Structure 1
Amino acid sequence: MTDQDLSVKVTRKDEESTTVLILLEEVLKNLRLNLLLWNPIQLMMHALTQGGNGLRDALGLWMVRVPIADTPRYRNRKGQVTTNTLAVCDRRLRFVYVLPGWEGSAGDSRILRDAISRPFGLKVPKECYYLCDNAYSNSEGFITPYKGVRYHLKEWGPGTRAPQTPQELFNLKHTKARNVIERAFAVLKMRWGILRSPSFYPIDIQTGLIIACFLLHNFIRTNLDVDPCEDSLNTQPDDGYGSDNDEPVAPTINAVLPTALWTKKRDDLAAAMWAERMLG
C-alpha cells in the first residue's frame, strides 16, 4: 500500500466517523430519553412468589477498540477488550435504565454502586427489588439466587430432578423470571450488528452508539406488535405487566450493602414458595 493509498483510507475513515457522529447526535437529539426509557412498575416483596413480576438487571459487554495505553482498563477477566453497560429491563423487554461506558475491568457491584449513587441514576423504591445474578450481593433492593444451589435453566431441563428444597425452588423461579434480561440482550444484539463486533470509533462515540441502540430498541418494542428479532430467537414473550410512567413516590435505596434483613426476606420468599408448592 502506497502512502497515497493510506492517506485516502484514513481520510475516508475520518469522513465516516464524522458522518456517524452527526447521525448519532441527531438520533439522541430527536429521541427523548423520558419517553424511551420506561419507568419501572413498583412491585412489592410478594411479586416473585406470584410469578416473578420483578425487574431484571444485568451487564452487557461490548467489544471495543481503545488506545493502547487504555487497554488494561478495558480488558475484562476473559482477556477481551470491552466496555460494560448496566441495564435493567421490564417484562416486555424494554429497558428502563441504562448506564454505558464503564471499562471492561470494572466489577459488576462497583458499577451498580455507581448507578445507585448518581443524582439521576437507578432509583429503587423501598420494599421493591430487582432480580440479579450472583455477581452482586443479596442486599436491599437486589435479590440474588442462593449460591451453591442449582440455578441455570439448563440445570432444570428434561430428565433432571424437581426442586427438593425451598432454596432450589426459589432458584428455579428466580432464573425463569430473570431470563427476560438475557432475552432482551439477545434481541438487542440481534437487531444491531454494530454491537456484535468492535468498531474503530473513539470510545465516546461508541458509548453514544450503545445508548442510541438501546433507545431505538425501546422505540421498536413499543411501536411494533410483533418483533421479528424476538421471533428469530424462537422465544415466547412474557404475559404480564408493562411499565407505568408514574414517578416513584416512596423513598429510594441509596446504598448496595448485604444485610441480614434482606437475607431473611429472601429466605421468607423461598419458604412461602415452598409452602405454596406443598399445598398445591
Structure 2
Amino acid sequence: MERCPVHRRKLAVLAISAYFELLLNLIKLIIQYYKELEYEDVQVLEHVTPWETPIARQQVRNSFMACITSHGDISNTMLIRMSCKSFEKLCNLLRDRGGLRCSWNMEIDEMVAIFLYTIAHNEKNRQNQITFRRSGETISRVIKVVLNSVLKLHPILLRKPKPVLEDSEDPKWKHFKNCLGAVDGTIVEVRTTKDRQARYRTRKGTIGMNVLGVCNQNLEFIYVLTGWEESAHDGRVLRDALARPNGLKVPRGYYYLCDAGYSNCQGFLAPYRGQRYHLKEWGRNRPKTPEEIFNMRHATARNIIERVFGILKMRWAILRDTTWFSTRMVAKIVNACCLLHNFIRGEVGADVFERVYEDEDPSTEPIIDDDELITLIQPTLEWTQFRQQLAQEMWASRTYYAN
C-alpha cells in the first residue's frame, strides 16, 4: 500500500488545525455574548444599522422598556397612553383573564407595549422594527395576539348601563329620568378592495367604516358595533345592534338620547325636527317654546357621546387616519380602543385627554330588569306624547330662561 505524500499530510494537518481554531473562536464569541447580556448598565444606542449585533438590539429593547417602567407617568402616558401602574395592571389582566402568554424570547410587558405604541401613534410595521428591534413578522404576530387578548376582556371592561335617578341633581341629566346614556355613530377611515369602495365611501369622498357607540354619563362605553359600511343608514345600524343575540339591550321604561338621524321611538329619545338644536346655534338667545328648551337640554346632555368619540380619537391616533390593516382588523382595533378607554377611565379617572368627572355612588343604583327588552325601532303615538310631556315639564320648570 502506497503511503500519502508528505505535502498532502501537511495540508491535512493545517486544515484540521484551522478548523479547531475556528471552532474555538466561535465558542469564545458565544461566551462573550452571554456575559454581555448580563451587563445591567444599558445605554441608549442611536442610529444603529440593520446589521447590528444581537447584543445591541437587546440593549435598545431594554432601553425602551426602561422608559416605560421607570421614567414616570408623564412620559409613559405620551408613549402608551397610560401610567406605569396602569400598564402593569393591564399586563396582569391580559395574562390572567385574556390568556396572553409570553414567548421564548419576548415577555408580556414588551408585547403589550408594542401593541399600545402602535395604536397610540399609528406606527407602521417598518417603523416598529426600528423602534423595538424586532422583525416585521414578529411585530405583526404580536399585535394580533395582544389584540385578541384585549377583546376577551369585553365582559370586564364594558360598563353596565346606569339610569338617571329620580333625585339626580346633575344639571345636564336631572330632566331625563331613567335615561341610560347617549347613542351616536362616527366614521373611522379604512382601506378596502376596489369593488367595495362605493359602499364605504363617505360624503367627503374618503373610505370609512360606520361605528355605533353607546356611552353612559361618565364617558364610558356601554356598547360598540363596528363593521358596517359608511353608506348604511344610522337607523339600520341601530336595528342590527338590537337584533344581535349579544347586542344592545334596552329595557322597557328606559331610553337613550340620540340625534335627529334616528327615529323618535320607544327606547330612543330624539330631538324635535325643524327647531334649533346644536349648541353653537343658540349663542345668547333664549328658548322661546317648549320644543326649543327641550332641544337645548337634549343637546347639552347628548353631547357626551360626541366628547367620548373626540377623546377616543385624540388618545388613539390609529383611529384618526387610514391604516394598512384590513377592514376586519380595523373593526377589532376599534373595539379594543374602546375597551382600553374604559380601562383608563377606571384606573386613572381623567388624564391629559379629558377632564375630571365624579363617579356616582354605586350603592344607590337600582337594578334594571332585563326581562322585557326593546327589539324594534318603530315610532309610536305614546312615545311622541312622552316627549311632548317632557318638553312641557321643562318649559314649566324653567327658571334661568324665564322672561
TM superposition shift of 1:275: 1.0
8 Å contact from structure 2 (residues 350, 357) kept in 1: no
State whether structure 2 residue 307 is matched by structure 1 residue 183: yes
Q: What is the aligned partner in structure 2 of residue 5 from structure 1?
A: none
- Aligned in 2, Cα 1:245/1:167: closer, same or farther, shift over 3 Å? closer
| Among candidates 262, 277, 282, match of residue 151 of structure 1 | 277
| Contact 2:264 2:379 (8 Å CA) reproduced | yes
**Is the counterpart of residue 39 in structure 1 residue 167 in structure 2?**
no
Higher RCO (C-alpha 8 Å, min separation 6): 1
**CA distance 1:101–1:244, change in 2 (3 Å):** farther
* Counterpart code for 1:82: G
Residue 204 of structure 2 corresponds to which residue in structure 1?
78
Q: Report the Cα offset of residue 27 of structure 1.
A: 2.3
Task: Name 2:317's counterpart in structure 1.
Answer: 193
Give ranges in structure 2 of 5+ residues lacking alignment. Answer: 1-125, 127-134
**1:79: how far off?**
2.3
Shift of 1:241: 7.1
Measure the CA separation in 1 of the matches of 2:298 and 2:361. Answer: 17
Change (3 A) 1:25 1:57: same
Whole-angstrom distance in 2 between the partners of 1:163 and 1:45: 25
Query: What is the aligned-residue identity percentage?
Result: 42
- Please say if 1:134 is aligned against 2:260: yes
- Residue equivalent to 2:384: 263
Match of 1:251 in 2: 372
TM-score, length-scaled by structure 1 = 0.85
* Structure 1 partner of 2:285: 161
**1:155-178 C-alpha deviation (Å, 9 max, x unpaired):** 122xx3211000000001000000
Structure 1 residues 261, 51: CA separation in 2 closer, same or farther (over 3 Å shift)?
closer
- Give yes or no for the alignment of 1:26 onto 2:152: no
AA partner of residue 237 (structure 2): I
Partner of 2:113: none
Distance 1:198 1:165, change over 3 A: same
Gaps of 5+ in 1: 1-8
Tell me which residue corresponds to 2:294: 170
Q: What's the C-alpha RMSD, in Å, of the aligned pairs?
A: 2.8
Q: Where has structure 1 moved over 4 Å in runs of 4 or more?
A: 12-16, 43-49, 238-247
The one-letter code sitting in structure 2 at the alignment partner of 1:33 is H
The verdict on how the C-alpha distance between 1:107 and 1:264 changes in structure 2, with shifts beyond 3 A counting, is same
* Higher mean C-alpha displacement, 178-187 vs 36-45: 36-45
Q: Is the 8 A contact 2:183 2:258 kept in 1?
A: yes
Cα 1:244–1:103, aligned 2, differ >3 Å: closer, same or farther?
farther
Q: Distance in 2 between matches of 1:73 and 1:212?
A: 24
Shift, 1:44, TM fit: 7.9
Distance in 2 between the 1:241 and 1:136 partners? 32
Distance in 2 between the 1:248 and 1:96 partners? 17
C-alpha distance in 1 between matches for 2:301 and 2:139: 42
| Aligned counterpart for 2:353 among listed residues 217, 223, 229 | 229
* Counterparts of 2:156 and 2:365, CA distance in 1: 11
For residues 224-262 of structure 1, the C-alpha deviation after alignment (integer angstroms, 9 at most, x for no partner) is 13322114xxxx647767796956334110100111111
Q: Give the number of the structure whose alpha-carbon radius of gyration is greater.
A: 2
Structure 1 103/45 Cα, relative in aligned 2: closer, same or farther at 3 Å?
A: farther
Counterpart of 1:276 in structure 2 is: 397
Deviation at 1:13, TM superposition (A): 6.5
1:4 aligned partner: none
* Contact 2:201–2:208 (CA under 8 A) maintained in structure 1: yes
Distance 1:85 1:273 in 2: 32
